[in-house]
Copies of this chain bind each other. A is one copy, B any other.
Amino acid sequence: MGATPHLRLDTDILDRNIAAMAALAAERGIALRPHAKTHKSLQIARRQLDAGASGLTVATIGEAEVFAAAGFDDLFIAYPLWLGAGDADRLRALAGRARVLVGCDSPEAARRLSRLPVEVAVEIDSGHHRSGVQPREAGELAARISESGLRVRGVFTFPGHSYSPETRLRAADDEAAALAVAAASLAAALLPVRLLSGGSTPSAGAVRPGVLNELRPGVYVFGDSQQVELGTIGFDQVALTVAATVVSHTGGRVVTDAGSKALGADRAPWASGFGRVLDAPDARIVALSEHHSTIEWPGARPALGSTVLVVPNHVCNAVNLAGEYRLSTGGTWPVAARGRNS
């Protein structure tokens, strides 16, 4: 397997995951704009577009720059951007290569965007309580953004409360209701509503045709332990693992060399541990250090020196820790936008 820990990507499962989400969106008549922060990979983004995606979602100007430089020409920075020194010039350069949409949730941020050749989407809060205005306030904010000379394409939300066993199933309904209220609010302000964008991997399957016209899931390409434990997918849909070596057997435990610097340290309150082990569903990662995962492993333990495939809790953070994917078919792909946080 080569030096561990490293990212191992099963490209057959990847292709199946890309095709399945594309089919789901097509069946429901919804455009698919996958979030590229998950994979940060030109090769995977290309496969998503080849399967019918309408464009890409990114989180930062830096990610947008990487994809625009590679020819991706329709980008949504789905984030309430606050332009710092130099950022206006960066957005202008980006807009020379791609159609650029950016998120906004305040008049103050909108003022800093004015006179730039980008469109704006108003962010609303559909229950995750992170950024975004209340849905009924979307029209007023959109009107103020329009006064800044910017074109408002519509509204977007991230139903992040889908990342909880209690609220996963209701998140898609909350999202639809919030987007409907926001759309009415824009209409009351006499503004056109061309975009109603939502979506997350845990909620995508519950989205009904009719309200949303765009979905932005990210994690679905790879899957991860959070998706397995939320019930979104089975282990057979996990395309990305961290290959690890068993380095210690003391105390009846299994310790591997994949720690938080390879897996990320994410652990939701409802997670069973710090990740899972592929092909060992009863094993539990009970502790994580930077270079150790400590696993309680019922039954016969893997031998010292053997390779185990660990499924990270949150695959986006695991990918961002590595320079490349090692493919099940041989070869590698770079994590092209790794670390592009700004």
A106 and B304 within 8 A (CB):
yes
Determine whether A201 belongs to the interface, using a CB cutoff of 8 Å to chain B. Answer: no
Given the interface contacts A264-B260, A290-B37, A317-B261, does A250 sit within 8 Å of B5 by beta carbon?
Answer: no
Considering the chains assembled together, what is the distance between the CA atoms of A84 and B245 in angstroms? 9
Residue of B nearest to A1 (CB): B84
Q: A82-B304, A305-B82 are in contact. Are A257 and B342 (CB under 8 A)?
A: yes
Contact between B321 and A339 (Cβ–Cβ < 8 Å)? Answer: yes
Number of interface residues of A (CB under 8 A): 64
Q: How long is the Cα–Cα vector from A291 to B103 in the complex, in angstroms? A: 14
B247-A80 in contact (CB<8A): yes
Contacts of A131 in B (CB 8 A): 247-248, 250, 255, 292
Q: Which residues of B contact A112 (CB under 8 A)?
A: 305
Q: A3 and B86: CB pair below 8 A? A: yes
Alpha-carbon distance A301/B294, docked complex (angstroms): 41
Q: Min CB distance, A59 to chain B, in Å? A: 5
Chain B residues within an 8 Å CB radius of A291: 37, 59-60, 79, 341
Whether A247 and B81, one on each chain, are in contact in the complex, defined by CB atoms closer than 8 angstroms, is: yes
Which residues of chain A from 267 to 299 have any CB-CB distance to chain B below 8 Å in the complex?
A: 267, 287, 289-292, 294
